[in-house]
Amino acid sequence: MTEPEMSYRTLGVEDLRSYLADQPALAAQLGGAPADWRIEEVGDGNLNLVFILHGPAGGLAVKQALPYVRLVGESWPLPLSRASFEQTALVRQNALVPGLVPKLLHFDEALALIVMELLQPHKIMRHGMIAGTRYPLFVEAITDFMAQTYFHTSDLALPAAEKKELMGVFAGNHALCKITEDVIFTEPYEIAENNSWTSPQLDGIAAALREDLAVKLAVSRLKVLFLSQAQALLHGDLHSGSIMLTEEDTRVIDPEFAFVGPIAFDVGALLANLLLSYFSQDGHETRPGDRDDYRAWILDAVQGCWTRFEEKFLDLWRSPAAQGDAYPKVLFADAQAETVLEVERQQVMAALFKDTLGFIAAELVRRTLGLAHNIDLEWIEDPDRRAACEASALGLARDLLVAPEAITSVSALTEAAATWRLWSPPLGASFTPELW
């Protein structure tokens, strides 16, 4: 995928109207005359333009990559090729989990433009969780997405040649990976311009983390996994802002960070963002305790996400779909071999869980001390209240980084989160590492 910048231009609302007027299939989907179409730019993400279009017959969603990081500005250029990688990942995901991602309707590589079905009345999950909305079908849907897309793009399912072709294609998406490498695994642990936090309340904790060599070593090991463990095609940015849903329907959007990497990275991002919502609920209560039930729902969702993902991934691995070059069937054919292989499967999942704990921690830290914060926390107006929530997230994060062996199950993880939620450290510069 080469950079198609020669013919690229950023589209305004009227450019987009005439562009779509020239695409009969898309125009028909909207219906009526182009002048009838209502077009809004609604991008609230960090990187792109997003348009919502409504016509007499229906709607469309249009995403255009900008040649720079929207959150930061033109000073941080970013290749338009990410739209190609997003499109390639979307095609793959649509083949594997058709009901769990948006349908892809059109791709224009030169314009770095993707046209998808309009998801309505779906909401970004993060907004729903701030409002305290339960999503009863979410756990089943997201664990289907994870188990199916990771398993079927791993060496457990794919012939080695196909897996390596996939690695080769997505190795080109290194500019997006580099953002993750920097803003998740490096900057929060150094003094960096991109960082921000609730100050002065978290100054002491941020300083303690920057000085904590055990933490920095643990995060650096996770970064090595991110850089070199080519396990499966990941979403690459699987947080509650990349999920749109209703109570009945769940869709995972925006796989522009897709690459072949460690499965635990994606799983960790998802669980961390649920936990960030959990810690943030204290800031959204109108009366102390009125989010108790919702908090319990979130911790149940954390449990369910791991447990059901593990079950589904294992079921796939035990199924005839496990035709990949890893653990070749021909070497494990009889009943005794199956017993040995089943022990191995459990060990692989245990190792994946341990790595997941680390990646959860890295995400908790970067969302509170790094570049891109979550509105779950940012929308808590009282800085003391917000800092208290964030401090709990950071306390859990440190435990997960320096003593992951204490957390041997997802129940232990949710218990640790509940314990850290009740923690009230002295905030400000007076925080000392002994308090961890």
Least distance from C-beta 328 to its own copies, angstroms? 5
Question: Closest Cα to residue 362, out of 178, 180, 127, 143?
Answer: 180
When the beta carbons of 37 and 189 are compared against its own copies, the nearer one is: 189
Instruction: Give the shortest CB-189-to-its own copies separation in angstroms.
Output: 5
CB of 3: closest distance to its own copies in angstroms?
14
User: Smaller CB distance to its own copies: residue 42 or 175?
Assistant: 175
Nearer to its own copies, 211 or 315 (CB): 211
The backbone region for 428, taken as left when phi is positive above 0, alpha when psi lies in -120 to 50, beta otherwise, is: left
Residue 409 beta carbon to its own copies: minimum distance, rounded to whole angstroms: 24
**What is the closest distance, in whole angstroms, from the C-beta atom of residue 331 to its own copies in the complex?**
5
Q: Return the number of other C-beta atoms located less than 10 Å from residue 415's C-beta.
A: 13
Which C-beta is closer to its own copies: that of 231 or that of 281?
Answer: 231
Round to whole Å and give the CA distance between 318 and 38: 49
The residues near 74 (Cβ < 8 Å, ≥ 6 apart) are: 67, 68
Please give the residue ranges that form the binding site for its own copies (CB under 8 A).
155, 160-161, 163-165, 167-169, 171-172, 174-175, 177-178, 181, 186, 189-190, 213-214, 216-217, 219-221, 223-224, 227-231, 325-328, 330-332, 336-337, 340-341, 344
Which residues 6+ apart lie within 8 Å of 177 measured at CB? 226, 236, 257, 259, 261
Q: Which is nearer to its own copies, 259 or 306 (CB)?
A: 259
Non-local (6+) Cβ contacts of 166 within 8 A are 153, 158, 233, 260
3-state secondary structure of 311: helix
Query: Which token pair is 234?
Result: 């990941």
**Euclidean distance between the first and the last CA atom of the chain, given in angstroms as a whole number:** 47
Nearer to its own copies, 249 or 325 (CB): 325
Angle at the Cα of 358 (from 366 to 184), degrees rounded to 5?
25
Minimum distance of its own copies from residue 34's CB (angstroms) = 41
Distance of CA 272 to the CA centre of its chain: 9
Q: How many other C-beta atoms lie within 10 A of the C-beta of residue 168?
A: 10
For the bound state, the minimum distance from the C-beta of residue 419 to its own copies, rounded and expressed in Å, comes to 28
Shortest spacing between CB 265 and its own copies, in angstroms:
14
How many CA atoms are closer than 13 Å to the CA of 354, on its beta-carbon side? 14
